[in-house]
Amino acid sequence: MTIWRVALSAFAIATYLALPALVRADEAATDAYVEAMMKEHATDSPVAGASRSAADDLHADSGFAIAEEKAITFGDAKGGAQVSGYLVWPAGAPVRSGIIVIHEWWGLNDHIRVMARALAQHGYGALAVDLYGGKTATAPEEAKSLMAAAMADESKTLARLQAAAELLREQRGVERLGVIGWCFGGGWALRTGLSLGSQASAVVMYYGRLVDDEATLAGMQAPLLGVFAEQDGGIPVAAVRRFEAALGKLGKTAEIKVYPGVDHAFANPSGNRFNAPAATDAWERTLAFFARHLAPKTPPS
């Protein structure tokens, strides 16, 4: 056996032996994140209807009528299980910009449907993807269980999000694709952007799980807007700054905004940590970011 084959065999053996430890480390990190989110939401619960009243004020002058709003199902990217979602489409000329909407740890509930509708009212096709298999939570323990199950099978979850991208591009004719998510969905917005590569044109993540490994972040090609909270114990500011530094070192186009004096989930009007001034500013910042990178159609006169 030649020297290079011996070296290669030794490397392969060492890598094989190291895999269980790497898997355990990743599982431990995921478990820690789920527990951190449980701590953040321990005294929280979604209030039905609260999002709609807040959204009526925030999006009253958005300019677009809604042509289509419905629950849909579609096949995942592996060609296996069906995925459920909520599609909202603006009226008028063909829509060339679409956004994948990823729910918080409560699931695809009324609040997320409101946000999908709000994006459509600004000229985007919006598809909210259900990553919990048709289930939603109203109590922290329920949400923890659903979130842990989705986090445990990353390939299955990514397949659902990739299928959403395919639906928007291939069936709906979208040319520019954005992604947005909050909390649990914020982390998956980042991972979806990494997975889609050049197919994504803009990624917005609200206080979601971070990635600061430079080799992984090197795959991010879309501009990114990150919205975070100073008092968030699950996504601490120090971790946000490491994330920001890694993106900067790699020369990525990224805007990071940390809102002072607010906590995790501050942008959700259906929760008990809602902060209206910060949420309004973050939403306006989000719309400006999408307008720059997705260029929606012009509102009707």
Cα dihedral 15, 19, 25, 28, rounded to 10, equals 170
Mean pLDDT computed over every residue of the chain: 88
Coil, strand, or helix at residue 62?
Answer: coil
pTM of the model: 0.89
Q: What is the pLDDT of residues 224-239, one digit of tens each?
A: 999 999 999 999 999 9
Q: Tell me: the pLDDT tens digits for 123-150?
A: 999 999 999 999 999 999 999 999 999 9
In a domain, 25, yes or no: no
pLDDT digits (tens, 9 = 90+) for 249-278: 999 999 999 999 999 999 999 888 999 999
| Strand stretches in 146-239, DSSP E | 176-182, 202-206, 224-229
CATH value at residue 209: 3.40.50.1820
Q: Count of domains in the chain?
A: 1
Rounded (10°) angle between helices 140-152 and 154-166: 80
Residue 207 in domain: yes
Range of the domain at 72: 30-294
Tell me the pLDDT tens digit for each residue of 171-180.
999 999 999 9
User: How is residue 230 annotated by DSSP?
Assistant: T
